[in-house]
Amino acid sequence: MPIRRTLPAQHAPPPLASVFELQVTYPDGQTVRGTGAMIDSTHVLTAAHLLYSAPDGGYATSIVAIPDANGSAAPFGVAYGTYERVDPSWLGLSQSHTGTTSPNVNDIGLVTLDQPIGNSTGWFKLGYTAVTVSMPAPRSNRPATRMLPRVGHKCT
């Protein structure tokens, strides 16, 4: 018996509405789609390989963020990326070994949106507890506390 799935009439409840479709366009005009997770009212956590592609000209020039995308429906509207960041280790790998990955590379990126659409969708709560945690030594000379560089790329 086939499994039947009922799509939501209007929109999915949190946290499902916190999953975004990202439509990314690179400098060479190539457009790809991927996903991201809302982590506060204006930031989407995603993969670095979605935001930066050396073969396609580098950083994305346009990012359209659609929460709870369902075909052509966008029940919460859309938001646009204004700033993007990727871990520096991804930049080097994308430039020297296109189409590959490595356990020594952090394929993580962050998009800042032009509006606080997360106030409507909700977001995945990331945080910490007061428990002491043992952390492994950082790879290379990057501090363990710095996830992404303070500098990034402004979307045009």
Q: Which domains does the chain have, with CATH numbers?
A: 16-154 (2.40.10.10)
- Distance in angstroms (rounded) separating the CA atoms of residues 124 and 70: 20
Q: Which of 112, 128, 144 is nearest to 45 (CA)?
A: 112
Q: Are 82 and 120 in contact (CB under 8 A)?
A: no
Provide φ and ψ at 48, rounded to 5°. Answer: -60, -35
- 36 versus 68: the higher-pLDDT residue is 36
42-55 residue pLDDT tens: 999 999 999 999 89
pLDDT digits (tens, 9 = 90+) for 93-139: 666 656 655 667 888 899 999 999 999 998 887 654 444 444 444 44
Phi, psi of 70 (to 5 degrees): -145, 90
At residue 48, the 3 state secondary structure works out as helix
Q: What is the pTM of this model?
A: 0.73
pLDDT at residue 140 is higher than 80 = no
